A = this chain, B = another copy of it.
Amino acid sequence: MSNTTALPISALHERVEAIFRKAGLNAIQSGALARVITAGERDACKSHGIYRIEGTLRTVKAGKVKPDAVPELVLQEGSAIVRVNAKCGFANPAFELGVPALADRARACGLAALVINDCTHFSALWPEVEALTEQGLAGLVMCPSYSTVAPTGGNKPLLGTNPIAFGWPRMGKSPYVFDFATSVAARGEIELHRRAGKPLPEGWAIDADGNPTTDPEAALAGAMLPFGGHKGSAIGTMVELLAGIMIGDLTSPEVLEYLGTTTLAPPHGELILAFSPQAFSAGRPGDPFARAETLFEQIAGQGARLPSQRRYAARARSEAEGIVLTAAEIEQLDRLLALGLDAVS
C-alpha cells in the first residue's frame, strides 16, 4: 500500500477547499463544495468525490455558474416555504443558508419546504437529507437533471435521471437514508460499461430508434429507461413538475437546451421537504422514533438490507483511519491546486 495515502477527513476538506479558492470561487461556494465532495470520499461514494472537482471547474470556466455568488434567503411571514436564490452559484451554499430557517419552519408548521432557485447542482442528495435528519426531521429531496431518459412508451430522451432522496432520523445511529436516480441506472454507469467494452444489462436503455439495446454506444445515442417501468416514469415526471415547473425553475429538457451538453453541471432548482415527526405524531400513541426502530429491525431481521449501510461502514473506516487516496489522486489534487482553472479545458 506504499502508493496510497490516508488523509484525515479535515485535511482532505482543506485541500479541496483550497483548490476551489485557487480557481476563484468565493469562501461560501468553496466551503460548501468542499464539504460535500469530502463527504463523498469519506463515504466511499467515488462518483461524488474528488472526481467531480474537474467537472465543477469546467462548469465555472464555461461561465455556466457564478464562482462568487452569494445566495439570498427570502422568508415570507406565515408561509411554510423558505426560498433561497442561489444567484447562479452552486446549490450547496444555498442549501446551507436555508437549512436553519427550514428546520424552524418545519418545527413550527409541522412541515415546510426549502426551494432553491437559480442554482447549479452537482452533488448527491444524501448529504442534504442527512442535514435534515441531524435536526431530528424527516426529509424528502428531489431535483430534475438534463434530458437523458425516455418516458415509458416513448423513444427519445426527455426526463432527467431525476434523483429522489429520503431520510428518517435515528437516535444514536446513522439515519435511514435512500438516494437514487429514477432511471434504471445512472448515466455514469453506462459510460463505465462503454469504457470497459462491456454490454449493458437488459432493460437499461433504448437506441436512437427506440429499440431495446445492450450496446453502451447505442444507449448513449439513444435514451436511458426509467426504473420500474411506467411507475418510475411517472415518478420522474412528478420530479419535473414539483422540483422544476412548480418552483419556477428549469425542467430537464430546458436544462439541456440551455447547456447544449450533458458534460457540464446542470443549472436548475431543487425542492427539499422537511417533516417534524414530533408535530405529526403529537397526541397520538407511541413514540415515532422507537416505532421506526421496530420496523428497521423487522426489515434487517429477515435478511434485507437497509439502504446506505455500505456508505456508513466506509464512513466509520474513514473516521478511524483517514480517507485513502491513490498516488494518482493525490497528484491530481496537487495539479488542480497548482493550476486552478488552467487545469481544465
A residues lining the B interface (CB < 8 Å):
78-81, 108-113, 115, 117, 138, 140, 150-156, 158, 166, 168, 176, 178, 180, 182, 227-234, 237-238, 240-242, 245-249, 251, 253, 273, 275, 277, 279-286, 288, 291-292, 295, 298-299, 302-305, 307
Contacts and interface: CB of A to CB of B under 8 A. Distances in A.
A106 to B, nearest CB: 9
A298 B256 CA distance: 14
A284 B108 contact: no
Q: Which 10 A-B pairs have the closest CB atoms?
A: A248-B284, A228-B228, A154-B304, A81-B110, A154-B302, A153-B304, A151-B304, A80-B109, A178-B234, A248-B281
Contacts of A78: 108-109
A251 B281 contact: no
A241 B176 contact: yes
B230 A228 contact: no
- Report how many copies the assembly holds: 2
Given A242-B275, A248-B282, 5 more contacts: A80-B110, A81-B111, A138-B242, A248-B285, A253-B298
Given A79-B109, A232-B228, A299 B154 contact: yes
A336 to B, nearest CB: 34
Given A81-B111, A281-B246, A307 B275 contact: no
B154 A303 contact: yes
A113 to B, nearest CB: 5
A292 B79 contact: no
Contacts of A117: 284
Nearest to A281: B248
B111 A111 contact: yes
A238 B292 CA distance: 11
A241 B115 contact: no
A253 B228 CA distance: 24
Contact of A166 (B168, B180, B238, B273): B238
Contacts of A273: 111, 273
B180 A234 contact: yes
Contact of A246 (B158, B227, B233, B275): B275
Contacts of A304: 150-154, 233
Contacts of A253: 295, 298
